[in-house]
Amino acid sequence: MLAFALRRGLTLALTAWLASVVVFAALELIPGDPALMMLGVNAQPDTLAALRAQMGLDVPPLERYLRWAGGLLRGDLGTSLTYARPVADLVAERLVVTLPLALLSLVMSTAAAIPLGLLAAARRGRGGDWAVLGFAQIGVALPSFWIAILLILVFSVGLGWFPAGGFPGWEAGVWPALRALILPALALAIPEAAILARVTRTALLDTLGEDHIRTARAKGVGRAAVLLGHALPNALLPVATVLGLQLSFLVAGAVVVENVFTLPGLGRLLYQAIGQRDVIVVQGVVLLLAVVVVLVNALVDIACAAADPRPRALS
Amino acid sequence: MTRRDPVSAVPVAVWAGAALVGLLLAVALLSLVWTPYPAEQVRVVARLRPPSAAHWLGTDHFGRDVASMLMVGARNSLAVAAAAVGLGLGLGVPLGLAAAALGRWGDELVARLGDLVFAFPAVLSAILLTAALGAGAVNVVVALGLFNAAVLARVTRGAALAVWRREFVRAALALGRGPLSVTLVHVLPNTLGVVVVQTTVLFAVAIVNEAALSYLGLGIQPPSPSWGKMLGDAQTHLFNAPLQAVFPGLAIALSVLGLTLLGDGLRDWLDPRHRSSGLL
Amino acid sequence: MMQTRARRWAVAAGMALMAVPVMAVPLMVATGPTAAWGQGRSDLVIGMPLEPPHLDPTAGAAAAIKEVTYANLFETLVRIDATGAMVPGLAQSWTVSADGLSYRFALRPGARFHDGTPCDSAAVKFALDRARGAESVNAQKGYFAAIAAVDTPDPHSVVVTLSRPDGLFLFHLGAGDAAIVSPASAAGNKQKPVGTGPFKFDRWVAGDRVVLTRNPDYDGAKPALERVSFRFISDAAAQIAALKAGDVDAFLQFNAFEALPEFRNDPKFTVSVGTTEGETLLSINNARKPFDDVRVRRALAHAIDRKTLIDGVLYGNGVAIGSHFPPHRDGYVDLTGLYPYDPAKAKALLAEAGYPNGFDTTLRLPPPPYARRSGELIAAMLAEVGVRAAIEPVEWAAWLEKTFKGKDYDLTVIAHTEPLDIDVYARDSYYFNYRNPAFVRLEEELNRTQDAGRRKALYGQQQRMLAEDAVNGFLFMLPSVTVQNAKLSGLWVNRPVQANDLTGVAWK
């Protein structure tokens, strides 16, 4: 178990390092100069050189990478070329948008999916089951950015209940901020809920077939009690597993949905930083995302490994 | 238990999926020879018209016929998805087979490469790649194709490993057959089912991702219409032409629905024990 | 047993994820004001499409920096007003020597930076020397190239000596790039700008807004507004929704043109369409085949239907141009009739140049919507005459690097937003690759000439020369569209410099 966790830890470090090399190399190769980007069409060669020196771009790429990596080892993510601010600050600022967004969509999707899964399992083969499976099938097919546009159309343009985009900041109050996150979270949650509802249903039906459940039924425990008391707790592990596996799709979805709603989140920061050739920011954000995704997948693997004595059969 | 379990009710799902995919193909093929109007024909004076007998689905902000654009868009969308999945198959399947056949380090290498690719969501790596190589259909194919290759390598490897453990493979090895021959004769045919199912799913994912990239302006370029770009354009017209945002999205959703129904159906048909979870 | 342990794992992971935002909640104190509609207000929320990368106008080309800071936070010696005229700023008055080489400025004696330090001649000398020095990262360093020396005879006088006459020197001192900054705070201006203006920096909610508050210690006329927020909303649908919901009181450079009729019909709003300095061009690489042939360039000019373009891209809210000069400026010559829309003529010219079946080319488009949409329409128009232009959308970084700096392109669409920038055609290394000694001679004469009448005539000759050479496809002037609450007064209609001067804005 420990050896397995250790191995995953090493893998994580290796993946993170590879990711940073790939990103650095990619941004080094793309045409575009952050200094020219800042100073525009009338910039003179000497001003460009001065700004490049200010940005630390006047040293060879390898040295720059090592400098950045060295800073990273000391816990310093570096300073943004565009915003002239520590990347850690920028990321923290954006996380207060992206994290609540991701969390809200997770809460929304599980809150919808588990009852739906229960309903489908309880009404197996009947109307309710068919309806839930239908929703699951269609929900998976809807691209989240289209859902986002439709939600804007109905709830912002049509009804005017929610803003069509932008984020007032948490200091504007919890409700105004939350209001700006509800539609984006919903756009992410709908496809997620569709997948989870189906997983919940399948997991419930699987556990319902297990011996201890049959025993409980035989002892005269009611159908609903068995479903909620016995089957559901056992079905939560596969649901959590799928949730973890879906995380990277959630991250990708957040990049696009944040752009649809012009939310100042991590995804939008990343998208804009690529446009501005702000290598330091792109590196920091990609690294963070990669670590989170890999970490969560590792957690899921470990959980699976712990639950299933057969090693890594699922991965 | 006389009621039918809807998940095992294969025929309905497969037929529905096949019908939708067939429709998509038919529309795409038809667009090669006929569209109501030339899809690229601009008529600014006739812009943002609601659906009518002349323009079944109305016109866009440049007065182009939306129905015609959707038809050609279907063709573009399918072409990009097919190329991306084809690239994924060409790279991923051999890699996965090799990983399973080589064992230890080769296996580890493929798994780590997969980790690296999965650490970046497909859309993100596509954004980076199109920034590096320039926007356009070809680069989208490359970006999505690499992601697909990673997925297919992983899936093929898993299925192949299972085959390697089976009795008849051991027997073949005992008879002195080499790993390459075993892979081609025994392993490959027995992994094809899983690969086919995964291919339909990836096809659907490719359609969505291509649309997302085109929505961001990185995918298929005008004048060639694409569903994602149509959605992107529609977003600025939500107030005065809301229907513009409905039709392209519907086209994407129906295509993906068709492909996932087909994929799920195939999965159940090829492997009745497997209850599809709707997972990728 | 195993299963319970796994479940505990999952629960622990879940709790860890939950904990972060929960800890963040106490920081989110509700202090924001709720916007009320109409009278008695002294706060203002302005919408803008783009967020500035930072707030130091002397260290960046992004127009958004100046649109937040100009005249509000930072002041310049000479100030450009709403009509484009040069009026006193930090300098109450100035005199120019007869040879045009010496400028003497008398500073406002009471001017102070927001941190309390006086804005005296030493600060002005510091700011000008900083802008022209070796370490300068000023995007318009060229504005200060003619300066030979800056002297400070007394705390309230500055004498600037030029090495050569520069007809636009005062005008350039009125640009945001020439903002006067303090030696004490210049280094931190990107994040915490400290200027001398009637508003001071309050805070910046990254990704959403910059807030300014009235400077109680301002030595000049105090503005009516106590608090101003600039909100950044790039999406057209969100811009419209924010206006309708009253989340913003005015939106500047509003580009959802299709929504204008609706706002015009609503008495709660006022819509103004003013001028900018943005000549929008189909830029042509004059050095590259087949565009090195003037007949081909003229064919392109005949192939473009400007009326349809303005209709399609700007919904009619734009003025066509026939050369590189804004119609609202002195010296303008109307050359829009030189190449009327005539596809047959275009085809004939192409055939004459040796391209009876047209040719293939690329049309590179930077991100702004006007460029992308114009490009799409132009590609369709060129296709009508047989020129097959493949569209290549690029980000700004790539556009600047490949097109502007590398001059590696065929065609591109771009608005040239610097005021009075016809001189770029005289630059040898400019990305048009246009080389005409006659034009350069006109520019040299213009630089020597002070007489207004002669200058006008020279500008006229330059415009005609560019039009006859069909250097670029001259399309239209970008409009400055503002949608605002009808009860608001004093917002600029035109945009003679990159600025949103809010000092005269008030609620009626």
User: What's the pLDDT tens digit per position in A100-136?
Assistant: 998 899 899 989 998 998 888 888 878 888 888 888 8
**d(C-alpha A258, C-alpha A263), whole Å:** 5
Question: Quick check: B8 pLDDT over 80?
Answer: no
Quote the domain boundaries for residue A216. 93-314
Asked if B235 and C237 come within 8 Å (Cβ–Cβ), the reply is yes
Lowest mean pLDDT among A152-161, A300-309, B248-257, C328-337: A300-309
Considering only residues C132 and A222, tell me which one the structure prediction assigns the higher pLDDT: C132
Residues linked to residue C279 through DSSP beta bridges, in sequence order: C416, C477
Residues of chain B found within 8 Å of residue A20, distances taken between Cβ atoms:
none
Tokens of C112: 């102070």
Interface test mutation site (partner C, options B42, B64, B218, max chain C beta carbons within 10 A): B42
Question: Quick check: A279 pLDDT over 50?
Answer: yes
Assigned domain for A126 exists? yes
User: What residue has token string 């006229």?
Assistant: C460
Which residues, other chains included, contact C32 with Cβ-Cβ below 8 Å and sequence gap of 6+? A168, A169, A171, A172, A173, A176
Assigned domain for A35 exists? no
Which residues, other chains included, contact A298 with Cβ-Cβ below 8 Å and sequence gap of 6+? A5, A8, A9, A11, A12
Are the CB atoms for A129 and A147 separated by under 8 Å? no
Interface test mutation site (partner A, options C8, C18, C22, C28, max chain A beta carbons within 10 A): C28
Question: Quick check: A308 pLDDT over 80?
Answer: no
What integer pLDDT is reported at residue B77 of this predicted model? 93
Q: Report the chain B residue with the minimal C-alpha distance to residue A130.
A: B6
Digits of tens for pLDDT over chain C (508 positions)?
334 444 444 434 433 333 333 333 333 333 333 344 445 789 999 999 988 999 999 999 888 999 999 999 999 999 999 988 999 999 999 999 988 899 999 999 999 999 999 999 999 999 999 999 999 999 999 999 999 999 999 999 999 999 988 878 999 999 999 999 999 999 999 999 999 999 999 999 877 889 999 999 999 899 999 999 999 988 887 888 889 888 899 999 998 888 898 899 999 999 999 999 999 999 999 999 999 999 999 999 999 999 999 999 999 999 999 999 999 998 999 999 999 999 999 999 999 999 999 999 999 999 888 999 999 999 999 999 999 999 988 888 889 989 999 999 999 999 998 888 899 999 988 999 999 999 999 999 988 887 889 999 999 999 999 999 999 999 999 999 999 999 999 999 999 888 999 999 999 8
Q: A11 by DSSP, 3-state: which?
A: helix
Asked if C312 and B42 come within 8 Å (Cβ–Cβ), the reply is yes
What integer pLDDT is reported at residue B11 of this predicted model? 64
What integer pLDDT is reported at residue C121 of this predicted model? 96
Q: Does the beta carbon of C238 lie under 8 angstroms from any beta carbon of chain B?
A: no
**d(C-alpha B207, C-alpha B201), whole Å:** 10
**Domain total of chain A:** 1
Assigned domain for A250 exists? yes
Measured on CA atoms in the order C254, C260, C266, C271, is the torsion positive or negative? Answer: positive
DSSP assignments along B230-276, one per residue: HHHHHHTTTTT-GGGGTHHHHHHHHHHHHHHHHHHHHHHHH-TT---
* CB proximity under 8 Å: B 54-73 to C: 61-62
C156 Cα distance to chain centroid: 32
Residues of chain C found within 8 Å of residue A306, distances taken between Cβ atoms:
2, 5-6, 9
pLDDT band at B93 (very low <50, low <70, confident <90, very high): very high
**d(C-alpha B27, C-alpha B71), whole Å:** 6
Task: Tell how strand C250-251 and strand C43-48 pair up.
Answer: parallel
User: How many CB atoms sit inside 10 A of residue A292's CB?
Assistant: 16
What integer pLDDT is reported at residue B42 of this predicted model? 84
Which residues, other chains included, contact A178 with Cβ-Cβ below 8 Å and sequence gap of 6+? A100, A104
Asked if A256 and B215 come within 8 Å (Cβ–Cβ), the reply is yes
Tokens of C280: 């929008």
* Burial class for B32, CB neighbours closer than 10 Å (0-12, 13-18, 19+): exposed
Which of A36, A94, A306 has the CB atom closest to C5's CB atom? A306
What integer pLDDT is reported at residue C288 of this predicted model? 95
DSSP C198: S
pLDDT band at B241 (very low <50, low <70, confident <90, very high): confident
Which of A84, A262, A276 has the CB atom closest to C397's CB atom? A276
Asked if C231 and A171 come within 8 Å (Cβ–Cβ), the reply is no
Asked if A286 and B120 come within 8 Å (Cβ–Cβ), the reply is yes
Q: Give percent of chain A above pLDDT 70.
A: 94
Residues of chain C found within 8 Å of residue A296, distances taken between Cβ atoms:
13
Task: Tell how strand C199-205 and strand C209-214 pair up.
Answer: antiparallel
Are the CB atoms for C445 and C279 separated by under 8 Å? no
Assigned domain for A47 exists? no
CA atoms within 13 A on the CB side of B147: 28
DSSP B45: G
Q: How far is B40 from chain A (nearest CA, A)?
A: 23
Instruction: Check which CATH number belongs to the domain holding A102 and give it.
Output: 1.10.3720.10
Measured on CA atoms in the order A40, C410, C389, C394, is the torsion positive or negative? Answer: negative
Q: How far is A126 from chain C (nearest CA, A)?
A: 31
For B145-184, the three-class secondary structure string (H helix, E strand, C coil) is HHHHHHHHHHHHHHHHHHHHCCHHHHHHHHCCCCHHHHHH
Question: Among residues B103, B161, B149, which one has the least CA distance to residue B125?
Answer: B149
CB pairs under 8 A between B and C: 64
What integer pLDDT is reported at residue B10 of this predicted model? 52
Domains with residue ranges and CATH for chain B: 12-46+57-278 (1.10.3720.10)
Tokens of C328: 């609202």
Interface test mutation site (partner B, options A28, A146, A258, A296, max chain B beta carbons within 10 A): A146
Q: Give percent of chain B above pLDDT 70.
A: 90
Assigned domain for A117 exists? yes
A229 Cα distance to chain centroid: 31
User: How many CB atoms sit inside 10 A of residue B207's CB?
Assistant: 30
User: What's the pLDDT tens digit per position in B186-212?
Assistant: 888 888 888 888 898 889 889 988 998
Q: Give percent of chain B above pLDDT 90.
A: 31
Q: What is the pTM of this model?
A: 0.82
**ipTM for the complex shown:** 0.79
Query: Would you tell me the crossing angle of helices A279-307 and A2-29 to the nearest 10 degrees?
Result: 160
Assigned domain for A198 exists? yes
User: What's the pLDDT tens digit per position in A5-55?
Assistant: 787 778 777 777 887 888 788 778 777 888 888 888 888 889 999 999 888
What integer pLDDT is reported at residue B168 of this predicted model? 86
